[in-house]
Amino acid sequence: MEAVQFEQIDELRKLIHEHNLKHIWLEGLTESRMSDFEELIKQTKAIENENLPEANAELSKVRELLATLESDSPEAAAAREVEARLVALVQEQRERRLRIGAAGLLYMKGELERIMPLEDEAAFAKANPVTSEGKVVFDDAANDERQDAIAKRIIDAREPVSLIVLGGGHQLSDNFKRSSRTNVQYERIELPAWKTLMEQYGR
């Protein structure tokens, strides 16, 4: 997934500069979820700047030390415990970076002024495939309503160019065609790294 994210960052950065964009619309975000997303960005940035460099430096030192110790010695056991804690910290940060996504990382770095919530609250909740019993049931009609709401949200923004980030399973051509505005040009970009990942999973 990191390869996909790196490629997304490069493509988004190119489009941001090409169209002088100040924000990106992001799938999965509603107005009510924005504060949680902003807090996650804040945490990720703080760890990235304050904790991660030190953790990586300490991890290198511990691994250098381990290379000099007898594997069954008490010192090696203690060093491996420290190594495990540092690896966990680094991995947690990698997961945070994946959670905030490519657009979130660009926002975190100051390359965007803000992230815009793409989702309509009601339509997003209705299309949620996870039932109250914990089962996963996809509702095509509800998902289409959700995509209609996304298209409407973009149209109502009346921007010359809107850049939105959606999962590869979304195709909004029909949703924009059903809108009241006929002068909307919709272009979908699918990145090579994403295609490769889907092929690996047989999709």
Q: What are the tens digits of pLDDT across the range 34-92?
A: 999 999 999 999 999 999 999 999 999 999 999 999 999 999 999 999 999 999 999 99
Query: Per-residue pLDDT for 13 more than 90?
Result: yes
Least confident of 13-27, 34-48, 169-183: 169-183
Q: What does the pLDDT average to over 107-117?
A: 96
Q: What does the pLDDT average to over 140-154?
A: 95
At residue 150, the pLDDT reads 96
**How much is the mean pLDDT over the chain?**
92
Is residue 160 very low, low, confident or very high in pLDDT (cuts 50, 70, 90)? very high
Here the tokens at position 1 are 């997934």
Per-residue pLDDT tens for 120-131? 999 999 999 888
Here the tokens at position 192 are 């090579």
At residue 203, the pLDDT reads 58
At residue 183, the pLDDT reads 80
Cβ neighbour number for residue 182 with a 10 Å cutoff: 7
Q: What does the pLDDT average to over 99-119?
A: 96
At residue 2, the pLDDT reads 83
The domains of the chain are located at 2-200
Query: Per-residue pLDDT for 144 more than 80?
Result: yes
Specify the residue for token string 């799938």.
Answer: 27
* CA distance readout (Å), 113 to 31, 32, 77, 98, 116: 17, 19, 47, 20, 10
